[in-house]
A and B are shown apart, each in its own frame.
Chain A
Amino acid sequence: MNIYHEFGHMLDNAPGLVDVFSGALDDPSFVGDNGYLTKDSRNSVDITNDPNYASVQSIQASRNTPTEQWADAFANYVAGNINLDTSSGKDMYNFVTKMLIQNIPIDTR
Chain B
Amino acid sequence: MKLSHTLYILIIVNIVLTGCMSKSLPPTSIQTTTQTLAPTSIPLTATASPNPIPTTTLTPPATLEPEQAQETIQALLREPVDCDAPCFWGIMPGQTTLGEAVNIFTRLGLQVKYTNARDHKKFYEIGYEFDSSLSTLSLLTTQNDIVENLRVYITPEKQMAGVPRMWSAYSPEFLINHYGVPSNVDFKTDWGPRTFFAMDMYFDRMDLIVEYSGYGIIDEKLNICPLTFQFDSVQIWMGKNPVNPPSSGILLEEATSMTMEEFSKLMTGNPNKACLNLKVKMFR
Q: Which residues of A contact B (CB under 8 A)?
A: 3-4, 7, 10, 33, 39-40, 43-48, 53-57, 59-62, 78, 83-87, 90-91, 93-94, 97-98, 100-101, 104, 106-108
**A52 to B24 CA separation, bound complex (whole angstroms):** 25
Chain B residues with CB under 8 A of A55: 188-190, 247, 249
Task: Pick 12 A–B contacts, CB within 8 A, sort by A.
Answer: A33-B133, A43-B244, A45-B211, A48-B247, A54-B188, A62-B193, A84-B118, A93-B29, A97-B26, A97-B29, A106-B22, A108-B25
Does B25 lie within 8 Å of A100, measured CB to CB? yes
**A108 to B22 CA separation, bound complex (whole angstroms):** 6
Does A7 lie within 8 Å of B14, measured CB to CB? yes
Nearest B residue to A55 via CB reads: B188
Does A54 lie within 8 Å of B137, measured CB to CB? no
B16 to chain A, nearest CB (A): 10
Known pairs A39-B233, A44-B247; A98 contacts B18 (CB<8 A) = no
Contact of A87 among B17, B18, B23, B34 (CB under 8 A): B34
Does B194 lie within 8 Å of A57, measured CB to CB? yes
Nearest A residue to B282 via CB reads: A54
B158 to chain A, nearest CB (A): 12
Does B233 lie within 8 Å of A45, measured CB to CB? yes
Chain B residues with CB under 8 A of A86: 115, 123, 125, 137, 139
Does B283 lie within 8 Å of A54, measured CB to CB? yes
Count residues of chain B with CB under 8 A from any CB of chain A: 50
Nearest A residue to B18 via CB reads: A106
A92 to chain B, nearest CB (A): 10
Chain B residues with CB under 8 A of A90: 30-32, 115-116
Is the CB of B104 closer than 8 A to any CB of chain A?
no
Known pairs A44-B247, A46-B188; A3 contacts B13 (CB<8 A) = yes
Chain B 132-164, CB within 8 Å of chain A: the 1/0 string? 010001010100000000000101000000000
Q: Which 9 A-B pairs give the minimum distances between C-beta atoms?
A: A85-B123, A48-B247, A94-B29, A62-B193, A43-B244, A85-B116, A55-B188, A57-B190, A106-B22
A34 to chain B, nearest CB (A): 8
Is the CB of B250 closer than 8 A to any CB of chain A?
yes
Does B29 lie within 8 Å of A98, measured CB to CB? yes
Is the CB of B198 closer than 8 A to any CB of chain A?
yes
Q: Which residues, 179 to 227 on B, are CB-close (under 8 Å) to A?
A: 188-190, 192-194, 196, 198, 211, 213, 215
Chain B residues with CB under 8 A of A47: 247
Q: Which residues, 17 to 75 on B, are CB-close (under 8 Å) to A?
A: 17-18, 20-23, 25-27, 29-32, 34
Does B243 lie within 8 Å of A85, measured CB to CB? yes
Does A39 lie within 8 Å of B155, measured CB to CB? yes
Does B13 lie within 8 Å of A7, measured CB to CB? yes
Nearest B residue to A42 via CB reads: B244
